């Protein structure tokens, strides 16, 4: 906080000259307080078309039943669960950024946590729609809850990972929502105090009467820390339980104990990729280059390469264990994955998840916005294929060769998936219009200690080690939002 | 007797505001409250705000979740409708750990945030009791009760001396009720 100087060796988290608290408010709230620009409208209309496709496809599914999907009696689970796991995985980055990075005191989380958490919530909504729409009779969705026998059924099977999953996803969703909304209160109050008329009334209701008094802030920080502490194991538990949906079965290729850590790493991997896909665009379109800096982008890329490599090791371990176990079925499942009729999906997954992210070892790639953006999309594609490979290739070769078959999606399968992306973007673009995409209060907190201007001031005061200063200035070269000429003068 | 209810010292910098608090305390002037656009570390010690007990509450909410789930599952699988699954024990504890964990977190989070909202009077639609509209933007506000601290001129001087950009004499407590 204020009155405490950070080491000069640390790269700045806020760039730009003469940034004031008022300017932070102004810049972050500008998309909320002004009319949207053309880019937003184009994006929103496209997203809305996708969302409409989703409504049509899911409506068609409800009317005609699950038979409208491409499932057959051998491959009984395909794009539906692939989409579900893909979205849940993407939904991991938000709470990871807000909880785990808070526990580790990573201040760079402050400018990306808000939109990452929003992304998490929308991704989990997309995942939940898959669960409901693949029930066939969605109006009986409440049967997944543990309700007593008077409803005409037994208790839910508490031994089943599908029931655990219901508990995990709903807990994750509601706790993430609480965390996100509590963090939003001070920022909603900021909008409220600047607004007039109807807008003021609306934001007054949603600001819960926030004033920013000492006690509220002190309790706010205590609550954030405890929520972070309990959300950290929660994030890890969610994808662990999702992986158990597969791991507790006896299908070759699914029945492996490596699944929980492997799925969790994959989830963080895809989540960060999606955060980058979104934020690189948001940063450019909303002009937030000073708050989401090259340091943030590079840090996220480092997490991507770490988790991507863990996923790569997991792929190889699976193969090794399949051979080492001596189980014929397991061995066949894995050889078939890589060389069977779905070889293209397997190698797509390998290339996108393991090989191409290795490019991030190069600093040039890691700090290039275009390369990062493309790689983040490649990772998203790769992670979709990972789930497809695990699910479909394990199922399409049954124990009886007579039932061996392929899976062909129908337009409804494609519509539900593409549509869910539309739903996601519709929600995200609406979020950008009505709520601040960066946590204003949290960014203000680091302005005096970790900004470029505060470090510039320190350099000008001249009590610092020359070598450290030189190293710091060199580290600024990669920043696209820093003017090097300023430093040449010193 | 003047109509001034509250004196507000409006600072543009958190460190100057902390300096202002110290100055006021040296002169035995009681501070009503401080409003800031962001959390200021170390301020609660200066103003004598007690340590939060929300962590203790959170623990007990969490434990309640644990007990609720274990009891619920026991009632369902042992008392109400025992099922023989390959002769295994009805109360298969390892199977119930994931859901017990989830309910612990769920109860803990909702209990914690609920207590926080209750203890700081936050709820949807509550009329904001704001003394200065810029306190959520770029100003750090020290509010002093003008009725109990009568040396108004001295307070003004102290605040200005500490670096206050503006000193306001408000005749109404809250400016947001308009």
The residues that bridge with A135 in the sheet, in sequence order, are none
Contact yes or no for B109 and A175 at CB 8 A: yes
For residue A228, the chain B residue with the least C-alpha distance is B109
Q: Report CB contact under 8 Å: A21, B12.
A: yes
Half-sphere exposure of A136 (CA within 13 A, CB side): 5
Best probe of the A interface among B137, B144, B178, by most A CBs < 10 A, is B137
Whether A217 and B137 lie within 8 Å, measured CB to CB: no
Q: A220: nearest CA in chain B?
A: B116
Which residues lie below 8 Å from residue B31, measured CB to CB, with a gap of 6+? B21, B24, B25, B47, B142, B143, B144
| Subunit contact B35:A444, Cβ cutoff 8 A | no
Q: What is the mean pLDDT of residues A415-438?
A: 93
Helix or strand holding residue B35 (H, E) = strand B33-35
Q: Provide the pLDDT for residue B177.
A: 63
What length is written for chain A? 490
- State the smallest CA–CA distance between residue A143 and chain B in angstroms: 15
CA distance A456 to A453: 5
Select the residue of B103, B106, B136 nearest A189 (Cβ to Cβ): B136
Q: How far apart are CA A428 and CA A119, in angstroms?
A: 7
Closest CA to A386 of A426, A357, A419: A357
**3 state SS of A197:** helix
Give pLDDT, residue A49: 96
Radius of gyration of chain B (CA): 26
In chain A, % of residues over pLDDT 90: 51
- Which positions in chain B touch A146 (Cβ < 8 Å)? 72, 76
Q: Give the position of tokens 């308009």.
A: B178
Nearest to A291 by CA among A80, A469, A446: A446
The answer to whether residues A120 and A159 touch, using CB atoms and an 8 Å cutoff, is no
Of B42, B52, B135, the CB nearest to A212: B135
**Any CB–CB contact under 8 A between B165 and chain A?**
no
Q: Which residues is B9 bridged to in the sheet? A: B142, B167
Query: A453 to chain B nearest CA, in Å?
Result: 15
Instruction: Determine the pLDDT at residue B15.
Output: 87
Cβ contact (<8 Å) for B128 and A244?
no
Nearest to A22 among B15, B120, B138 (CB): B138
Summarised one tens digit per residue, pLDDT across range B71-120 is 999 988 888 888 888 888 889 899 999 999 999 999 999 999 999 999 99
Residues 52-111 of B with CB under 8 A from A: 52, 54-55, 58, 62, 72-73, 76-77, 80-81, 83, 85, 92, 95-96, 98-99, 101-103, 105-106, 108-110
**DSSP reduced 3-state for A7:** coil
How many C-beta atoms lie closer than 10 Å to residue B65's C-beta? Answer: 23
Please tell me which of the candidates A158, A193, A223 has its beta carbon nearest to residue B116. A223
Q: What is the pLDDT of residue B41?
A: 85
Task: Please say whether the dihedral angle defined by the alpha carbons of residues A345, A96, A118 and A15, taken in this order, is positive or negative.
Answer: negative
Which of A191, A196, A213, A229 would best serve as a mutation to test chain B binding (most B beta carbons within 10 A)? Answer: A213
CB contact under 8 A, A159 and B95: yes
CA dist A365 and B107 (Å) reads 44
Ramachandran assignment for A303, one of left (phi > 0), alpha (psi -120 to 50 degrees), beta (any other): alpha
- Residues A1, B40: C-beta atoms closer than 8 Å: yes
> In whole angstroms, what is the distance from residue B172 CA to residue A22 CA?
25
Distance CA A59, CA A79 (A): 17
Decide: B33 and B79 in contact? Cβ < 8 Å: no
Mean pLDDT along residues A288-293? 89
Cα distance from A84 to chain B (closest Cα, Å)? Answer: 20
pLDDT tens digits, one per residue of A39-52 = 899 999 999 999 99
State the average pLDDT for chain A: 89
| 3-state class (DSSP) for residue B7 | strand
CA dist list (Å): A315 to A319, A354, A386: 7, 9, 10
Q: φ and ψ at B148, to 5 degrees?
A: -90, -25
Binary contact (B102, A226; C-beta < 8 A): no
ipTM: 0.91
Query: What's residue A2's pLDDT?
Result: 43
Mind listing the pLDDT tens digit for each residue in A58-81?
999 999 988 999 998 899 888 989
Residue of B42, B102, B121 lying closest to A237 (CB–CB) = B102
Instruction: Place A468 in a pLDDT band, splitting at 50, 70 and 90.
Output: confident
3-state helix, strand and coil shares in percent for chain A, rounded to the nearest 5: 75, 0, 25
pLDDT in tens, B10-63: 888 888 888 888 888 888 888 888 999 988 888 888 888 888 899 999 999 999
For every residue of A453-481, DSSP letters joined together read: HHHHHHHHHT-S-HHHHHHHHHHGGG-TT
pLDDT of residue A1: 41
Cα distance from B119 to chain A (closest Cα, Å)? 9
Res B85: pLDDT: 85
Q: Which residues of A touch B34 (CB under 8 A)?
A: 213-214
Whether A459 has a pLDDT exceeding 90, the answer reads no
- Rounded to the nearest angstrom, the minimum Cα separation between B151 and chain A is 24
Q: How far lies A57's CA from each of A76, A429, B21, in Å?
A: 19, 22, 62
CB–CB contact A226 B106 (8 Å): no
Residues 43-62 of B with CB under 8 A from A: 43-44, 47, 49, 52, 54-55, 58, 62
The string of DSSP codes covering A135-169 is: TS-GGGGGGGS---GGGSS----TT-HHHHHHHHH
Q: A255-287: string of b/e by CB count within 10 Å (b at 16+)?
A: bbeebbebbbbbbbbbbbbbbbbbbbebbeebe
Nearest to A235, CA basis, from A173, A315, A311: A173
A99-152: per-residue pLDDT in tens? 888 888 888 888 888 989 999 999 999 999 888 888 878 888 888 888 876 665
- Name the residue facing A171 among B15, B95, B106 (closest C-beta): B106
Judged against a pLDDT cut of 70, whether residue A475 lies above it is answered with: yes
Q: Which pairing describes strands B140-145 and B6-11: parallel, antiparallel, or unpaired?
A: antiparallel
Q: Which of A274, A292, A238, A266 is nearest to A111 (CA)?
A: A292
Contact B43 A214 (CB under 8 A): yes
pLDDT of residue B13: 87
Max CA separation in chain B (angstroms): 86
Q: Which of B52, B109, B138 sits opposite A230 (nearest CB)?
A: B109
Across the interface, whether the CB atoms of A210 and B122 are under 8 A apart is answered yes
Q: Test A21 with B37 for CB contact under 8 angstroms.
A: yes
- Size of chain B in residues: 178
Cα separation of A302 and B12, whole Å? 37
């Amino acid at each position: 906080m204020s009155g405490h100087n950070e080491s000069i060796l640390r790269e700045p988290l806020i760039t730009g000259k003469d940034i004031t608290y008022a300017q932070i408010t102004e810049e972050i709230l500008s998309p909320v307080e002004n009319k949207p620009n053309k880019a937003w409208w184009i994006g929103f209309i496209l997203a809305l078309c996708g969302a409409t496709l989703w409504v049509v496809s899911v409506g068609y599914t409800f009317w005609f039943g699950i038979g409208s999907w491409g499932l057959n009696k051998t491959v009984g689970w395909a794009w539906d669960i692939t989409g579900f796991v893909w979205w849940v995985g993407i939904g991991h980055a938000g709470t990871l950024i807000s909880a785990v990075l808070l526990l580790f005191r990573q201040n760079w989380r402050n400018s990306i946590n808000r939109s990452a958490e929003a992304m998490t919530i929308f991704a989990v909504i997309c995942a939940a729609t898959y669960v409901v729409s693949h029930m066939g009779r969605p109006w009986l969705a409440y049967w997944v809850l543990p309700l007593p026998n008077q409803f005409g059924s037994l208790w839910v099977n508490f031994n089943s990972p599908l029931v655990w999953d219901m508990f995990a996803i709903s807990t994750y969703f509601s706790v993430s929502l609480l965390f996100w909304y509590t963090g939003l209160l001070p920022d909603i109050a900021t909008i409220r105090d600047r607004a007039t008329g109807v807008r003021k009334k609306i934001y007054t209701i949603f600001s819960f009467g926030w004033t920013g008094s000492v006690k509220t802030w002190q309790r706010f920080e205590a609550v954030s820390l405890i929520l972070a502490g309990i959300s950290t194991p929660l994030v890890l538990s969610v994808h662990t339980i999702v992986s158990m949906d597969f791991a507790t079965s006896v299908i070759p290729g699914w029945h492996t104990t490596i699944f929980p850590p492997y799925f969790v790493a994959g989830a963080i991997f895809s989540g960060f990729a999606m955060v980058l896909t979104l934020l690189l665009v948001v940063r450019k379109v909303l002009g937030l280059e000073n708050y989401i800096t090259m340091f943030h982008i590079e840090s996220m890329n480092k997490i991507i390469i770490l988790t991507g490599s863990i996923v790569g090791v997991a792929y190889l371990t699976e193969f090794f264990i399949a051979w080492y176990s001596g189980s014929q079925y397991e061995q066949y499942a894995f050889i078939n994955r890589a060389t069977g009729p779905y070889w293209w999906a397997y190698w797509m997954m390998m290339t996108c998840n393991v090989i191409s992210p290795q490019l991030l070892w190069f600093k040039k790639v890691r700090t290039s916005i275009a390369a990062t953006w493309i790689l983040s999309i490649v990772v998203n594609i790769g992670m979709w294929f990972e789930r497809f490979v695990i699910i479909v290739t394990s199922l399409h070769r049954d124990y009886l060769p007579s039932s061996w078959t392929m899976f062909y999606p129908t337009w409804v399968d494609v519509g539900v998936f593409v549509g869910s992306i539309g739903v996601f973007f519709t929600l995200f673009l609406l979020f950008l219009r009505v709520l601040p995409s960066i946590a204003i209060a949290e960014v203000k907190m680091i302005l005096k200690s970790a900004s470029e201007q505060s470090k510039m001031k320190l350099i000008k005061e001249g009590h610092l080690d020359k070598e450290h200063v030189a190293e710091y200035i060199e580290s600024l070269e990669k920043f696209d939002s820093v003017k090097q000429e300023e430093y040449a003068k010193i | 007797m003047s109509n001034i209810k509250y004196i507000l010292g409006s600072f543009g910098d958190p460190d100057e505001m902390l300096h202002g608090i110290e100055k006021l305390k040296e002169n035995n002037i009681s501070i009503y409250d401080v409003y800031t656009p962001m959390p200021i570390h170390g301020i609660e010690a200066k103003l004598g705000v007690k340590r939060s007990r929300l962590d203790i509450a959170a623990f007990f909410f969490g434990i309640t979740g644990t007990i609720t789930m274990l009891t619920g599952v026991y009632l369902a699988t042992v008392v109400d409708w025992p099922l023989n699954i390959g002769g295994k024990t009805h109360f298969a504890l390892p199977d119930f750990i994931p859901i017990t964990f989830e309910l612990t977190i769920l109860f803990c989070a909702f209990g914690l945030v609920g207590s926080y909202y209750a203890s700081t009077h936050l709820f949807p639609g509550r009329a904001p009791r704001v003394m200065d509209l810029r306190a959520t933007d770029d100003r750090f506000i020290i509010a002093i009760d003008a009725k109990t601290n009568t040396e108004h001129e001295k307070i003004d001087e102290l605040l200005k001396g500490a670096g206050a950009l503006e000193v306001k004499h408000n005749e109404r407590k809250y400016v947001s009720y308009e």
